[in-house]
Chains A and B, each alone.
Chain A
Amino acid sequence: KNEVEQSPQNLTAQEGEFITINCSYSVGISALHWLQQHPGGGIVSLFMLSSGKKKHGRLIATINIQEKHSSLHITASHPRDSAVYICAPRAQKLVFGQGTRLTINP
C-alpha cells in the first residue's frame, strides 16, 4: 500500500525555472515534513507544516489538510537545488514518500 504518493518521481529543469513537487497522502496526520537529501548525504528538514503555507528563501511549502495534499515550490531554481525531495507526513511516526529526484541544469 502507498500511504504517500509524490509526483513527479523525476524532474529535470533549466536553471531559473519554477519547480513544483506534489504530495498526496492517505493517513491522518498532525504535521507534514518536506525533506531534502543530497547524493550520499544525510537528510535535511526543509519545512514542517500543519496548515497553510510556509516560505523560506526560494522555497515555499503549502498544505491542504482537508484534501490531504501538499506542494513544495522552488522559485528561480539553481543547480545547487538538485537533490531528492521527500514528503513525509507525520502520524505517530513519519511516513516517507518515495522522493522526487530533481535535477537543475545550468
Chain B
Amino acid sequence: GEDVEQSLFLSVREGDSSVINCTYTDSSSTYLYWYKQEPGAGLQLLTYIFSNMDMKQDQRLTVLLNKKDKHLSLRIADTQTGDSAIYFCADESNSGYSTLTFGKGTMLLVSP
C-alpha cells in the first residue's frame, strides 16, 4: 500500500539550516505537502509542491522534489527556536477526495 516515511528526529542550532527528508511510494500524487504541528495544536499547512516541479521556494522554506527517487525534502533557512515542532510530509492518496497519507512526522528541536 501507500507509504510515506520520514526520519523521526532532527536537532539543529539556532541560525543553522534544517533539512527534513521524506520518501513516498505513491507516484500518482499530483501534489505533495508539508505540514507543521506545534504542541497542543492541529496541523498547519506550510507549503505544497506540484509534482511537475523540482523546487519551490517560499521565504525561508525550500522544497525539493526528486520524482524519480520519490524523495521530498523541506529546507528551513535560518532556523529559529520557534520552528521547533513536528513536521509532516504528506502525499495524496490514490483514493482522492481530499485524502492525504501522512508520514509519522519529524520532530525538529532547535537549540539556542
A and B form one complex: no
